[in-house]
A and B are shown apart, each in its own frame.
Chain A
Amino acid sequence: MTPLPRHHSIFFLIMRRMRAPLILLIVIIAISVLGLTLAPGVDADGNPHKLSFFHALYFISYTATTIGFGEIPFAFSDQQRLWVLICIYMSVIGWAYTLGTVFALLADRNLQQAFAMQRFVGAVRNLREPFYLVCGYGETGGLICEALDRMGVRAVVVELDEAKVGEIELHSYAADVPAIAADARNPEILKFAGLTHPHCIGVIALTNDDSANLAIAIAARLLAPKLPALCRAESRDTAANMASFGTRHIINPFEKFAEYLGLALHAPNAWHLLGWLTGLPGTAVERHRDPPRGNWIICGHGRFGRLMAQTMEAQAVPVTIIDRQPPPEADQRWIQGDGTGAEALTAAGVDSAVGLVACTGSDVDNLSAAVTARELNPGLFVIVRQNLYVNRALFDAYDADIAVVPSQIIAHECLAILGTPLLAPFLQEVRQRGEAWSAALLDDLTTRYGWSVPMIWSERINLLRAPALQQRLMDGETVRIADVLRSPAGREESLPCTVAYLRRDDDDHVVMPGPDCPLRPGDELLLIGLPEARNALCLTLAYEHTLNYVLTGKDLPGGWVWERIAAHRNRAATARRVLP
C-alpha cells in the first residue's frame, strides 16, 4: 500500500520550493534600486541629481517587469544608463529562474496528485446530500453512476485507472461526481472518499479484482458498520469470505444469471417480470421469446458455462457441452472442439437442438459460434455471453435472443437493491409465487405502463414523508389505498401507479394490496408506475390541501382570512340547516 501524499502540506511545499527564486528576485531588485540611487545624473537644468529610493523603485518596478516606460524624472546620464543596462539583464535572469521554478513546480507529479487529492477531499467533505461511494469505475461502475445520476443521487468514485477517472470528467453527469485515481484497497483513501462521512448511504465495490472488493468490504464493515455494502464477487471463496463478516449484498454476475435462466426455463413470465422491474431506468425491455425446453448446447465450459450446465440439469434440460477439455463430471455429454466450427456443432446435434449458449471468455468466439449455429439451425434459441460492454454494437446487430452482459447484470441487481429496499422482498415473492400469478401481474402492469422500465419507489407514511396523511390517520380516519392514488389535478382520474408491496410497522406485509386495503401510520409502500405519479403522490401525502381535495373533492381555503370567511360561512350554513 502506498502512503498517501500529505495533502495538507501543499502550501508549505510551494513556499519551500519558491524560497530560492524569491530571495534571488529580492536581492536583484535591491541591488538595482540601490545602484540607481547611487548613480550620478543631472536634472533638466544640468544640476547634479540622484534618484530617490521612491523614483528608483518605481523605475526598477516597471523595467524589471519588462513594461518599459522611459526615463524619469529627468533623462538619465550615461552612468545611470550603464547601471540600468546591468539591472535589465539581472532582472531577466531573476524572472527566468522564478518562472522556471514555478513551471517545474506546476508540472511536478507529486504536486498535481496532491492538488487532485485535496480537491477531491474538499469536494467530498462539502457534500451535503446522501451519496454512494462507488469503488471501481469500469463498465458496471459507469452504468451505476449513470443510473444514480438519473435517479438524482450523488456518487463518489474511487478508481485505480487514471484514464477512467478522466472519462468521468468528460462524461456529462447532471451532478458533479468527485473522483480520484487511487487504490480503493487503502482504507485511508476510502475514508477520504467519504466512507465515514455522515451523508454516505452505501458502499458499492465493483472493481474487477475480487481481493480488492474483499478489502473494501472489510474496510466498510469495520469503519462504517451501519452502511450497507454491495460487493461484486466472482469466485465462491470470496463471496463466502464476504458473507462471513456480514456484507449485506454480494453479487456474483454469473450465478445471478444462472438463477435468472433457471427461472426463465420454468417460469418465463416471472423472469420477464423480474427483468422489467430491475431494468436500467430510461431503457425499454423487449419481450423475448421464452427459452424452449429440449436439447441445449453449451459452448465453453468455464465458470459461467459450468453454472449454466448445472442450472439446466437442475431444470431437467439435457445438455451437450462443447469444450476443448472434458468436463469434470463424467456423465455429461461432451464434444471435444471449439464451438466456432461447424463440425463440433454438428457433432453436438445442432440440427435437433432447441437452444445454444455461447459462453466462452471471448466475444468474437461467442459471436462466431452463435452465427454458425444459426446458419445450421435457424430456429435455434441463442444465448450469448457478451464480455465487454463496448462490443454491444456487434451483439445488437446479431440479434441474439438473450445477450448476457455481466456488467449489466451487476448494475441491474445493484440498482434493484439501492433503489428501494422494499423491492428485494417483492422480487423474492415474485420468484416464489406461481407462474400464473406472475403472468397476470405482468400483463396487467405492462398494459398500463408499457414495456419501458417503470419508476419504482417507496413511500413511508410518517410525519417526515407524509405529514398530511399521517395526521389524518392519527385522527382516526380510515383512508384506503385507492383514495390516495388519485390525481391532484382531477380526482376522477387515478394516478398511473400501483402499490406492489406494503410493509406494516409490525413486520407484517401484504403483497399486491387491493384498492380497498386501509392504510395505517408507519406503513411503507412499494410503488410501481410512471415518474409523474411519484411527484403527484408526494404532493398528496405532504400537503393538507391537496390531500383534502383528493379525499373529499373539496378545496380547502388557504390563508388566514379565507379560513375565517370559510368558517363563518360554514357556521351560517349549519345555522340555516338547524333553524327551519
Chain B
Amino acid sequence: MNLEKVIFGFFIVLAATLNFGFFVGDIDNPAHHDIYELFAAIIVSLIATLLKFGDRTQIGAVHLATSLVADLQLIAAAMVWGYAVHVTGDGMTAKATASVVSLSGGALFANIVSVIILIAETIMQRR
C-alpha cells in the first residue's frame, strides 16, 4: 500500500462525491442545493488538481486536464451564485439555481472521468 496513492485516490473520489452531493436534487430549487457543499466541492477539487501537479506521465496529464475542467466549472458555478445574490440583488431565483446546478453538473462529469481514469490506472497496474 502506498500512502501517496491513498491520499490521491481519496481526494479524487471525494471531489466527485461532494460534487455529486451538491448536484442531486431539483435543478431549479435552491433548497436542494447547499452552498457549503459547493464550497467543499471547490476546495477539494482544487486540492485534487494540485495533487496532480508534476506528474509527467500521459495519464497524469489527462488527470490534470480533467481536474482543471472541473475546477473551472465549479468556480463558474460559484461566481454565478455570488452574482445572483450580491450583484443582481434578486437572490437565488429558479433560473440562477438552474445555471449553477448545471455548471456543477458539467464539473461532475469531469470528476467522473477523473475517477474512471483512476480506476483504469489502478487496473492497469494490477496486471
Contacts and interface: CB of A to CB of B under 8 A. Distances in A.
Nearest to A13: B54
Contacts of B43: 26-27, 30
Given A26-B43, A26-B46, A30-B43, A54 B53 contact: no
Looking at B51, B54, B78, B86, the one whose CB has the most chain A CB atoms below 10 A away is B54
B54 A23 contact: no
B85 interface: yes
B78 A53 contact: yes
A54 B82 CA distance: 6
Contacts of B86: 52, 54-55
B58 to A, nearest CB: 13
Interface in B44-100: 46-47, 50-51, 53-56, 78, 81-82, 85-86
B79 to A, nearest CB: 9
Nearest to A22: B50
Interface string A37-59: 10000000000000011110000
A27 B51 CA distance: 13
A15 B54 contact: yes
A53 B82 contact: yes
B35 interface: yes
Given A19-B50, A22-B50, A54-B82, A9 B56 contact: yes
Q: Chain B at the A interface: mostly helix, strand, loop or mixed? A: helix
Interface string B27-42: 0000000011001000
A23 B36 CA distance: 20
Contacts of A13: 54
Interface string A10-27: 001101111100110011
A18 B53 CA distance: 8
Nearest to A20: B50
A445 B39 CA distance: 87
A315 B33 CA distance: 104
A19 B51 contact: yes
A55 B85 CA distance: 11
A326 to B, nearest CB: 66
A420 B80 CA distance: 70
Contacts of A37: 36, 39
A374 B55 CA distance: 74
A30 B44 CA distance: 10
A555 B119 CA distance: 82
Interface residues of B, number: 17
Contacts of B55: 12
A55 B5 CA distance: 36
Contacts of A34: 36, 39
B84 to A, nearest CB: 10
A33 interface: yes
A27 B40 CA distance: 11
Given A53-B39, A53-B82, A16 B47 contact: no
Contacts of A9: 56
B54 A16 contact: yes
A254 B82 CA distance: 81
Contact of B50 (A26, A30, A33, A55): A26
Contacts of A30: 39, 43
A16 B39 contact: no
Contacts of A17: 54
A361 to B, nearest CB: 52
Contacts of A16: 53-54
A23 B78 CA distance: 20
Contacts of B36: 34, 37
A23 B39 CA distance: 16
Interface string A139-175: 0000000000000000000000000000000000000
B33 to A, nearest CB: 13
Contacts of A22: 50, 53
Looking at A18, A22, A54, the one whose CB has the most chain B CB atoms below 10 A away is A54
A26 B78 contact: no
B47 A15 contact: no
Contacts of A52: 82, 85-86
B47 A27 contact: yes
Interface of B: 35-36, 39, 43, 46-47, 50-51, 53-56, 78, 81-82, 85-86
Given A12-B55, A16-B53, 8 more contacts: A19-B50, A19-B54, A22-B50, A26-B47, A34-B36, A34-B39, A53-B81, A54-B86
11 contacts: A12-B56, A22-B50, A23-B47, A23-B50, A26-B47, A30-B43, A34-B36, A34-B39, A53-B39, A53-B78, A53-B82
